[in-house]
Structure 1
């Protein structure tokens, strides 16, 4: 088999936030904007960064808890809508691919792999980031919770992102517990990148392999299918 076909028939699904792209700066800016609009103080980035994988509401709840502020559920929902509206306009201002991401994706494509995005971010927030960073053409599909029947950690999300190949011919690349849980439930191997937003040390999450970042990922994927 030629080098161009080493990964032919294989699908590699990638998480977005904390795996492919460092979206924390724009997410935290929008969260703090919503907090400010509601009359609350801003929150240091390190307090909420590792909650990004849990979604926008979790970021707000973490910030409110940090400041010991009690807010009624309707007010949290109002803040959430302000957060998302602001983020939709500013999501590409400071978000960048992690070091080595683009080169790795292109190398995997050159080996014949099909690449997909498997993210819990809604499609209307995901596509502009991939387009602005010129990543979208590298992927055969983008699978978000509003265009598939489930979201991570549900196995159905990963299975949709790797279809039509079987789990043994796929891998999930992520940075946190929902990525591992969904991959395991789907029978798909999982590699975690430690540069992301995990609340729990990634070495404790039970992935097949943990890497510091994209350095070495291409070789690790080739080894998985050797």
Structure 2
């Protein structure tokens, strides 16, 4: 790193909050209502993070039923499941320490903004972030790379020639790592979320945080993405 770090992008599900209970119950309910086998806890955990159109086919939902299942899921999740959710222990202290270091904090989540924003409001942490970037319900902003691109535009730093030095991503799944790498940004993987250590290392995470207390020190370290 040749320039000082200025911005941190943070994933939501599996990084800031443990959203698994609400996602699990809402997806199991949706599958039952639509006549599909009820997915196991392990199956649901495997699809938390990326957009459902990527994950649900892997657990047996056919392409022609994706819209029905997702819409049914949203019925319960919007009103109930979103709030069956807790911040991980130590997250508030982590955000305080990152802010104390003078870093700009933003959320970059593949969760749709229409559900991500109310969750951040529910936890009373929205004002800690300069940008709260999430997915759209249309195809124009669904992948993590697209969400990060949106966050960078909102922060007005997308043209920064030293972006890789100034910005770092914090996330728990391989799509966080790969989405950041698409923009030349390194990603620190967190091991308390839904992705495995092997998944994060294979994707190219530059470091692993075993607890929120580890994050601030790791953010200050110099990283260089591995060149192919």
> Taking structure 1 as the reference length, what is the TM-score of the superposition?
0.82
Distance 1:114 1:45 in 2: 35
Distance across 2 between alignment mates of 1:22 and 1:98: 6
Verify the 8 A CA contact 2:49 2:111 in the aligned structure 1: no
Supply the RMSD in Å over aligned alpha carbons.
2.7
TM-score, L = length of structure 2:
0.81
Out of 84, 105, 115, the residue aligned to residue 115 of structure 1 is: 105
- Aligned residue number for residue 218 of structure 1: 216
Answer whether contact 1:31 1:60 (CA < 8 A) is retained: no
Partner of 1:10: 6
Q: How many residues align?
A: 212
The alignment status of 1:205 with 2:203, answered yes or no, reads yes
Structure 1: unaligned runs, 5 residues or longer = 1-6
- Report if the CA contact (8 A) 2:209-2:218 is conserved: no
Which deviations, in whole Å up to 9, do the C-alpha atoms of 1:20-58 show, x marking residues without a partner? 111111011000111221234432212220211233345
Question: Residue 87 of structure 2 corresponds to which residue in structure 1?
Answer: 97
Match of 2:121 among 126, 131, 144: 131
Residue in 1 that maps onto 2:147: 157
Cα drift, residue 131 of structure 1? 0.7
Report Cα offsets for 1:77-113 as digits up to 9, x if no partner.
Answer: 2222111121111133321112211110111112211
Range that drifts further, 130-139 or 214-223:
214-223
- Residues 1:38 and 2:34 aligned together: yes
